[in-house]
């Protein structure tokens, strides 16, 4: 039986923006890893990445294929509360790949999903762990943006306004990540995520003193318990420390 695979999400327009932003020449693409969930893990998307010399670590799209592949697994290996089994690739992606199936027990029935990677990893468990780390990163990022930047509390009636809000939130998210790495790392504030940076640090009262268009002094309310240490971080971030 021939399976029908739909191209749910087209990576091409998004990848074009990424290539432009990060200057990903053809010779550098082999150093880039795309980690994709099931919606993006279609055959056309994975072939598209493989043909452009990218690495990918993806959950395959098509539940029926996962069930069919599960029947070909010869040995299941326990992994937490699920099982993993290696199978041959059902598709020629134009380059070597590793494929494995995950089996889980749900309401007395086995459910299956499958995964594809171009990476040369030591084991299926290492490959599965790498994929699971992707999910954890998303959860932490979304949680920080919702709580720290109040993304879930702000809603615009017009679609274009909501899109602009999301883009601004992404900009702030990137700024906070940059500020944390350059100013807060290796300090008492190293464990602060977006919520605590905005709530406990950026809410400190103070003044910025400008002279001839340049920042010459930062003043913070010295009664705040974080003021003195934050002032050192701000000077460091501005290149004055």
For residue 4, the model assigns a pLDDT of: 37
Question: Phi/psi at 88 (nearest 5 deg)?
Answer: -75, 150
Max Cα-Cα span within the chain: 74
Neighbours of 10 (CB within 10 A): 13
CA 48/CA 140 separation, integer angstroms: 29
- Give the Å distances, CA to CA, from 155 to 26, 158, 159, 163, 174: 40, 9, 10, 10, 21
Contact between residue 128 and residue 79 where contact means Cβ atoms under 8 Å apart: yes
* pLDDT (0 to 100) of residue 84: 95
Measure CA 144 to chain center: 13
Quickly count: other Cβ atoms within 10 Å of residue 100's Cβ.
23
pLDDT at 5: 36
**What is the Cα gyration radius of the chain?**
23
Q: Which CATH architecture has domain 12-142?
A: Alpha-Beta Complex (3.90)
Those residues of the chain that have pLDDT short of 50 are 1-8, 136-137, 241
How many residues are present in the chain? 241
User: What are 84's strand-pairing partners?
Assistant: 77, 102
What pLDDT shows up at residue 106? Answer: 87
Cα–Cα distance list, 5 to 60, 66, 130, 200 (Å): 10, 13, 25, 49
Nearest residue to 142 (alpha-carbon basis) of 179, 164, 169, 180: 169
DSSP 33: E
Map out the domains of the chain as residue ranges.
12-142, 154-237
Q: What's the pLDDT score for residue 45? A: 86
Packing angle, helices 124-148 and 159-179, rounded to 10: 110
- Least Cα distance to 205 among 224, 189, 178 occurs for 224
């Amino acid at each position: 039986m021939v399976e029908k695979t739909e191209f749910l999400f087209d990576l091409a327009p998004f990848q074009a923006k990424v290539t432009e932003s990060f200057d990903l020449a053809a010779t550098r693409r082999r150093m880039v890893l795309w980690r994709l969930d099931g919606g993006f893990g279609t055959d056309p998307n994975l072939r598209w990445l493989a043909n452009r010399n990218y690495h990918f670590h993806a959950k395959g799209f098509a539940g029926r294929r996962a069930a069919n592949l599960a029947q070909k697994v010869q040995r299941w290996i326990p992994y937490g509360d699920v099982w993993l089994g290696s199978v041959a690739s059902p598709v020629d992606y134009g380059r070597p790949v590793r494929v494995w199936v995950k089996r889980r027990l749900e309401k007395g029935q086995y459910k299956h999903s499958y995964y594809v990677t171009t990476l040369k990893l030591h084991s299926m468990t290492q490959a599965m762990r790498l994929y699971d780390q992707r999910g954890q990163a998303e959860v932490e990022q979304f949680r920080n943006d919702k709580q720290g930047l109040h993304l879930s509390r702000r809603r615009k009636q017009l679609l274009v306004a909501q899109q602009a809000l999301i883009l601004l939130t992404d900009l702030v998210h990137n700024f906070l990540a940059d500020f944390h790495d350059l100013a807060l790392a290796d300090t008492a504030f190293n464990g602060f995520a977006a919520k605590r940076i905005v709530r406990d640090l950026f809410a400190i009262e103070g003044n910025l003193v400008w002279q001839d268009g340049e920042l010459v002094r930062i003043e913070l309310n010295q009664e705040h318990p974080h003021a003195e240490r934050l002032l050192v971080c701000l000077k460091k971030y501005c290149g004055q420390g």
